[in-house]
Amino acid sequence: MSDSQQPGRGPLHGHLVLDLSRALAGPHAGMMLGDLGARVVKVEAPGRGDDTRGWGPPFVGPEDARESTYFLACNRNKESVTADLKSEEGRALVARLVRQADVLIENFRPGVMDRLGFPEERLRELNPRLVILSISGFGPDGPEGGRAGYDQIAQGEAGLMSITGTPGAPLKVGTPIADLLAGIFGVQAVLAALLERRSTGRGRTVRTSLLSSLIGIHSFQGTRWTVAREVPVAEGNQHPSIAPYGLFHCADGDIQLSAGSESLWRSVAAVTGLDPADPRYATNADRVRNRVRLARELEQVFATAPAADWLARLDAAGVPVGRVRTIDEVYAWEQTRAQGLIVQVDHPVLGPIELPGTPWRFDDGGRTRHDPPPTLGQHNASVRAWLDEVEGLGSPDTAPEPPADRHPAAAGATR
């Protein structure tokens, strides 16, 4: 068994990720790589750190050491060092880390890395095996390639808001989906580049953007236009191409159901007493054309009993159904906990806290120990000491392990 395959370490154990990013897209990518077992060193600006350290409320913790829950959401399994990238000392630290790294993540506006003294050519000179992930708002080139990118702006520009919500009222998705997807797609490309490097011995640069991440998930809404020349619009909580599929009101609350096949439609009809052969509803195309009428008839039936009753009846008939849960209900849900979707960490300021967990499972459990999001500069001393040791050995292949216990008191870190 190789070192990276040992249970509890994760498949990327032994890889070093240098995270120069801030806000969400890049940090989310770095956290995913850390969740997969990589060691992630996050470089932050002295004094203020990542922008998200100031995004709130809510803030938690003592008055003299407040932590942003936004920052906590995307920075576990990382070590924090501070460096002014506009100073010689800061750039020298980054150069040292680049020489040892397998992956570098940056989400500056196009051209900023060049101005900081780290154009791609220099990064390749420092480390030919380096895989670079570059995330931007609207892409690295093109007529608007230099634009700053923030999630909601990208959601609007990429058309997502035009198909979300109700007609005439564009609505953003409730999470920063462009940022998160850019991080996810970026990690996919990084993993492919690391796999390729095993045969070529060289790294490569992979690029993604908030714009490309959203267009990448247009799916059937995209082909409605590109192929059928039909402009999609917001249609509320009903599916534009399948019926019945969406949210329906009951006597005391809401349920959601999906009749994605003719057999499921017949099951819905049997439970609710509708005629499955009614010519208005005989095929899915008929039901979509008469979706408003069908929804009204279904809700007249659903209004006769509580939501729990309809959930039970439909589920017993094999119809996919579900509740609309609040976020607190999701984390209290036994299914969430049974799937390992909550990570428990011991934060140096906050103590034991729970974080949204990793979305995958490995047959050996994957990474079993997770480190809390770091305080600003928590690992200044330990990372520099590790670099001194690595450089003294003269080969990144013989680099020693980071300290097993990264608590600041054990690692000699500073805040």
Residue 239 lies in a domain: no
Domain for residue 44, yes or no? yes
Same domain, 198 and 120: yes
| Residues 372 and 311 placed together within one structural domain of the fold | no
The pLDDT, as a whole number, for residue 367 is 86
- Catalytic positions are 179
Is residue 56 a part of any domain in this protein?
A: yes
In this structure, the answer to whether residues 184 and 130 fall within a common structural domain is yes
Within a domain: 263: yes
Domain boundary among the residues 324, 357, 376 is at 324
- Give 280-285 contacts, CB < 8 A, sequence gap 24+: 284/242, 284/243
Output the pLDDT for position 403: 43
Q: What pLDDT is attached to residue 5?
A: 57
pLDDT of residue 410: 32
- Looking at the domain assignment, is residue 391 inside a domain? yes
pLDDT of residue 138: 95
Q: What is the pLDDT of residue 364?
A: 75
Do 350 and 275 share a structural domain? no
Domain assignment of residue 236, yes or no: no
Q: For the chain, how many structural domains are there in total?
A: 2
Both 69 and 138 in one domain: the answer is yes
The Cα 21–Cα 24 span in angstroms is 8
Distances (CA, A) of 46 to 74, 82, 89, 375: 19, 5, 12, 12
**What is the domain extent for residue 10?**
3-217+336-411
Is position 159 within any domain?
Answer: yes
Q: What is the CATH number of the domain that holds 286?
A: 3.30.1540.10
| pLDDT of 167 | 87
Same domain, 358 and 308: no
Taking the chain (415 residues) in runs of 10, the rounded mean pLDDT of each run is: 64 96 97 97 96 95 93 97 96 97 95 94 97 96 90 97 93 97 98 97 97 97 97 93 96 96 97 96 96 96 97 97 96 95 95 94 83 96 95 61 39 30
The CATH number for 143's domain is: 3.40.50.10540
232 domain-assigned: no
pLDDT at residue 117 in the model: 95
